[in-house]
Every structure is written in structure tokens, then in C-alpha cells.
Amino acid sequence: MEGSKHSWKAWLYLLPVIILTLVFTVWPIINTIRIAFLKDYSMIGAMGGKTYEFGFANFSKVVTYKRFTTCLKNTVLLCVLTVPISTMLALLIAVCLNAIKPLQRLLQTIFFLPYVTNSIAIGMVFAAMFNMIGKPSSPDSVGIINNFLGIFGVAPINWINVGSEYWANLTVMVIYIVWNALPFKILVLLGGLQGVNKQYYEAAKVDGTSRVRTFWRITVPMLSPMLAYVLITGFIGGFKEYSSVVGVFGENMGPAGQKGALNTMVGFIYDSLSQNNQGRASAAALILFGIILVVTMINLYVSKKKVHY
């Protein structure tokens, strides 16, 4: 066959990529799986010639850790809260943006700004805004959010400082993550909206369709591929949440005095690595992988039924 004569050339061109993928993707995955089943594996120990017992010890240890269950709970909560909220908000904003003509470009740019800003930096700004103390020099002053709420007669809330409560911490995180996730989703959905033939809307209008019905019966189905994409990537990203917590709470991963109160799965893996317990980290990573896999499969299954391509 003509193709096979030249196929060695194709392989040659692909070689660099294949090598890089093997070294930096495939091997680490295999190694992670291997290490996950080696009890209390540590690289330093392994280099010292130590051997490790094979089995599920890492997994059973990880799942019984209280710290791990906290991380799992935080991750799932953040995911379940932020993905639907941000998707719905993004859809709403995209539809509104699409409906207006003047200032559309300007607003589009403004909504896109968070996307090009460093998330740690944004997190620090959020931390400042939600702070209990406004100016260190005047002990009575509060942060901008509490100031704002004060207008409506709401007493200052301890959002993120020492002794703050879990729900307050979580609220801040949800607001931050939603805000951070919006631009990308708006961009994708707006792109989808602009691709919808205006005549469908004109036809609906001539037929006397109400706005709400037009939205649910025409806009949403027409956008369903984009919505599915945004939801699936949103859930995957949500389970990998980490830097947002670092941004708001710093490496403490929680308010002062409650270290790790808002830690996430990825945070747990980092912590294990920094404690030189690669075995535990690998097991946690595999669990996270499993969760993401299952959720994505469910997402794909649902979207196959609901999405109109």
C-alpha cells in the first residue's frame, strides 16, 4: 500500500510528541497507579532501597482520614453549588448581552476581564473586600462588603477572619468561584447565541410566543451543546478547585486558627506530597480521578438524551 511505504515518516514526525507524552503523561499515570497500591510509599525511602507492601492500605487509610472527608465534602459542596449557579448566571448574562446593541462590545470586555486576571490576585482582593477590618489604623472600620451591608442595617459579618463560621467561609468561596468562572462561560454561551439564526426568534415572535417560552423552548435547546460543554468542563474544573481557596485564605486553607477547614481534594494531594507521602497522594489522586470520571460519564449520558446537535 502506498500509505505504509511512507508511514515511517509519519511516525518520525510524531516521535517527539510520543516521547514527551510517554515520559510526562503516560509513565506518571502508570506510576501513580503503582504507587497508590504501595503502602506508605515515599520516594526518599524508595531511593534508600526500602520495599513496600502491596495492597489497598493507602486507600483505606485515606478514606478514614478526617482531613480527607473534610476535603471531599468541601470539594463536592463547592462543585454542586458553583457550577449550576455560574452556568445559570452566565446564561442570563449572555442572553442579556446578546439582546442589547449599544455597549455590547464594552460590556463583553468588562465581563471577560476576570478571565485574564490571575486568580490568586483576585482571591486576595476578595479577601480584602470580605475582611472584618477595613483599616488597621481605625479598629472600628470594616471591609467594603460589610460596609455595603451596613447600609441595609446588617451588622458586620465575620466572613473569613479568626473565628468565622463555615457557612460564611463557604459563601465567600462560592461567590468568588462563581465570579471567576463566569467570563469563560459567558464567552462560550454568547458565541453560541450569536450563532443562532435570528429567524427562529422571528418565527416565534410571529407565532406569539412569550419571552419565557422562547427562552426555554428555543434558546436553551439551541444552546444545549454549549451548555453541555460548559457544565461538563465546569464540573471537572470544580472537582479540581484549589487555587481559589489559596487565593482567599492563603496556604492555611481556612480562616486563622482553623487550618484546612476549606481544604479541597487537590489540596489534600498537595499536602500529602509535601509531607513526602507519595503513596497517600497517589491514592487520593486516583479517588479524585474516579469521581471525575463517574460524574463526567453521568454528564455525557444525560447530555446525550437532552442535547440537540
Name the residues that contact another protein, by CB under 8 A: 197, 199-200, 202-210, 213, 217-218, 221-222, 224, 308
CB of 207 to another protein, least distance (A): 4
Question: What is the nearest approach in angstroms of another protein to the Cβ of residue 203?
Answer: 4
Contacts of 34 (CB under 8 A, 6+ apart): none
Question: In whole angstroms, how close is the CB of 217 to another protein at the nearest point?
Answer: 7
Nearest approach, Cβ of 58 to another protein (angstroms)?
A: 48
Q: How far is the CB of 271 from another protein (least distance, A)?
A: 47
- Closer residue to another protein (CB): 147 or 210: 210
Q: What are phi and psi of 79, to 5 degrees?
A: -60, -55
98 versus 161: smaller Cβ distance to another protein? 98
Nearer to another protein, 115 or 215 (CB): 215
Q: Quick one: residue 263, left, alpha or beta (phi over 0 = left, psi -120 to 50 = alpha)? A: beta
Q: Cβ of 302: how many Cβ atoms within 10 Å?
A: 13
Nearer to another protein, 107 or 218 (CB): 218
Answer for the pair 117, 182: CB distance below 8 angstroms, yes or no. no
For residues 267 and 242, the answer to whether their CB atoms sit within 8 Å is: yes
* Of 34 and 205, CB closest to another protein: 205
Among 74, 67, 83, CA closest to 238: 83
